[in-house]
Amino acid sequence: MKRRDFLIGTAGIGLAAPLFSMLPATAEDAAPEKPDLTLGVGGKPLLYYLPLTIAERKGFFKEEGLNVTINDFAGGSKSLQALIGGSVDVVTGAYEHTIRMQDKGQDITAVCDLGRFPGIVIAVRKDLAGEIKSVADLKGRKMGVTAPGSSTALMLQYALQKNGLKADDVAMIGIGGGASAVAAIKKGEIDGLSHLDPVIAQLQFEGDIAVLLDTRTEAGTRALFGGPNPAATVYVQRAFAEANPVTMQRTVNAFMKALKWISEAKPEDVAATVPEEYLLGNKDLYMQAFQNSKEMYSPDGMVTKEGYDSMMGVLKKLDPELANADVPYEKTFDPKFVQAAKI
């Protein structure tokens, strides 16, 4: 008996093929097919990926019978490469990667939304604020991003184009996701950055940057994109989700528990839960950073059609290869695991 047939049989489903998509809901009590899971992320200390850290630190993965090993890469594009290469099973990364990969014939789909707004801030060094008063003034400047090809780079490119510049009018430099990013500004190695909390919060608190554009809130996101713009998601190769439906359901359950916990958490609860090094030496500052970013987390784990339309519009504008892309919404997000989640 094939493994797929066995799993469906144990879930009590008689006609396997047409009802396969129902399996996550009916196999909730079955053992995960792959309890030892490898997960990729690019910049785990960032508040962008807080749901992952909460799922790990609060024991939600273990509650779901999963032993998760987390590989933290220099940026989201590196996580994507690891997924395609097969060195990780699941990624927490930017939603836009699913659209890009679908257009290239790679069947990668998001299974849970973590962030409904990007939470990304474009800022410049404070000593340059007199010269650089808007995104339109960034031509010829060196701008830090978590990694080339990451969501921080994507948003910077979009903001440049919207302000009459080309994506290559600035030099984009990968500066990582934590203390290295703060140091790059303080040492004057870059003129500005497109980055996330808590890095942005620390630089603001210490008076090192002037903010040009802020998508930590719905208002800031709509001002740039004209709508919501799905950010961090949980995404996988569809073949993996289909071969391991119980594992996938348990994974999404853990992330949904984390989102629920975050929605109810006070800043001090979050600061007490994350690793000490995430606080960057200033607990009060980290709590403020969380408060600044709290609005961006998804309330329900769903990537909406409006969000998809907004992201597709961005990508069509940015990438000539995607200008005429026809990637259906349904291929980029599979809602069944979120819909069946028990939290």
- What pLDDT does 77 receive? 86
Instruction: Tell me, yes or no, whether 127 and 112 share the same domain.
Output: no
Q: How confident is the model at residue 136 (pLDDT cuts 50, 70, 90)?
A: very high
User: Regarding predicted confidence, which is higher, 27 or 225?
Assistant: 225
Task: List pLDDT tens digits, range 47-80.
Answer: 999 999 999 999 999 999 999 999 999 888 899 9
pLDDT per residue as tens digits for the range 301-331: 999 999 999 999 989 988 888 999 999 999 9
| 108 and 242, same domain (yes or no) | yes
Q: For tokens 């701008």, what's the residue?
A: 143
Q: Mark whether 55 and 87 lie in a shared domain.
A: yes
- pTM of the complete model: 0.82
> Which pLDDT tens digit goes with each residue over 155-204?
999 999 999 999 999 999 999 988 899 999 999 999 999 999 989 999 99
Model confidence at 7: pLDDT above 80: no
Give the pLDDT confidence score for residue 9 in this predicted structure: 36
191 and 262 co-located in one domain: no
Local structure of residue 36 (DSSP, 8 states): E
Are 166 and 259 in the same domain? no
The three-state secondary structure class of 212 is strand
- Mean pLDDT score, 136-143: 98
The two structure tokens encoding residue 279: 């606080």
pLDDT confidence tier of residue 28, bands split at 50, 70 and 90: low
What mean pLDDT is reported for the chain? 90
Evaluate whether residue 21 is within a structural domain. Answer: no
Q: Is the pLDDT of residue 90 over 70?
A: yes
Total structural domains within the chain: 2
Give yes or no: residues 244 and 98 share one domain.
yes
Statement to judge: residues 210 and 262 lie in one domain: no
Q: Do residues 304 and 228 touch, judged by C-beta distance below 8 A?
A: yes
* Residue 269 shares a structural domain with residue 323: yes
CB-side neighbour CA atoms (13 Å) of 139: 7
**Per 3-state DSSP, what percentage of the chain is helix, strand, and coil (rounded to 5)?**
50, 15, 35
Which of 167, 186, 214 corresponds to the end of one domain?
214
* Percentage of residues of the chain with pLDDT beyond 90: 78
Q: Tell me how many degrees the CA angle 112-315-120 measures, rounded to the nearest 5.
A: 65
In this structure, are 239 and 335 located in the same domain?
A: yes
Omega before 35 within 30 of 0, i.e. cis? no
Last residue of a domain, one of 188, 214, 240: 214
Query: Given pLDDT bands bounded at 50, 70 and 90, which one contains residue 212?
Result: very high
State yes or no: pLDDT of 12 exceeds 90.
no
237-255 pLDDT, tens digit per residue, is: 999 999 999 999 999 999 9
Q: What is the mean pLDDT of residues 122-142?
A: 97
Domain boundary among 214, 239, 260: 214
Q: Is the pLDDT score of 228 beyond 90?
A: no
Q: Give me the pLDDT at residue 308, please.
A: 96
Residue 225 resides in a domain: no
- CA nearest neighbour of 181 among 217, 212, 208: 208
pLDDT band at 44 (very low <50, low <70, confident <90, very high): very high
Is residue 185 in a domain?
yes
The answer to whether residue 23 sits within a structural domain is no
Domain identity same for 182 and 269: no
Using alpha carbons, list the distances in angstroms from residue 132 to 153, 247, 332: 19, 49, 37
Q: What number of residues does the chain have?
A: 343
Q: Are residues 86 and 110 in the same domain?
A: yes
Name residue 122's beta-bridge partners.
194, 213
- CATH number (domain holding residue 142): 3.40.190.10
Residue 22: pLDDT band with limits 50, 70, 90:
very low
Are 224 and 159 a contacting pair, CB within 8 Å?
Answer: yes
Query: Coil, helix or strand for 328?
Result: coil
Q: Which of 246, 269, 245, 242 is nearest to 258 (CA)?
A: 269
Asked if residue 202 is part of any domain, the answer here is yes
Region class of 15: left (phi > 0), else alpha (psi between -120 and 50), else beta: beta
Q: Is residue 108 domain-shared with residue 234, that is, in the same domain? A: yes
Q: Which domain holds residue 328?
A: 31-117+230-339
Q: Specify the higher pLDDT residue, 98 or 12.
A: 98
Within a domain: 19: no
Q: In degrees, to the nearest 5, what angle opens at C-alpha 217 toward C-alphas 114 and 289? A: 80
Q: Quick check: is 325 in a domain? A: yes
Q: Is residue 6 part of a domain?
A: no
Output 15 or 269, whichever has higher pLDDT. Answer: 269
